[in-house]
Amino acid sequence: MQTKLAQNFLQPAAGGVLLDVSCGSGLFSRRFAKSDLFSTVVASDYSENMLRQCYQFIKQDKDLDKAYVPCLLLVFFAFYFDEDKGAITLY
């Protein structure tokens, strides 16, 4: 149910690249990749351990084309929230 709601919300980005930030174990990354809604799904997390787990789940998934789910370790030094713009800047 949650995956379907997210897919409907992300429909305007269909055919593009989806960046799953803080993917954790990669459950949604894998589901989005299997949906064929996006050309590529990038699984990313700031936790190296979670990203390793995500990568293991991707490798074990026989129904998933691994080429469409690269894993990316995010390293942030600082966050800045601009209240005027309602945006977060990552350093």
Q: What share of the chain in percent tops pLDDT 70?
A: 75
Instruction: Report yes or no: 45 and 24 within 8 Å, Cβ to Cβ.
Output: yes
Residue showing tokens 């429909």: 11
Between 64 and 73, the more confident residue is 64
Report how far residue 72's alpha carbon sits from residue 45's, in angstroms, rounded to the nearest whole number: 7
Is the confidence at residue 84, as pLDDT, over 80? no
Model confidence band, residue 15 (pLDDT cutoffs 50, 70, 90):
very high
Report how far residue 2's alpha carbon sits from residue 38's, in angstroms, rounded to the nearest whole number: 17
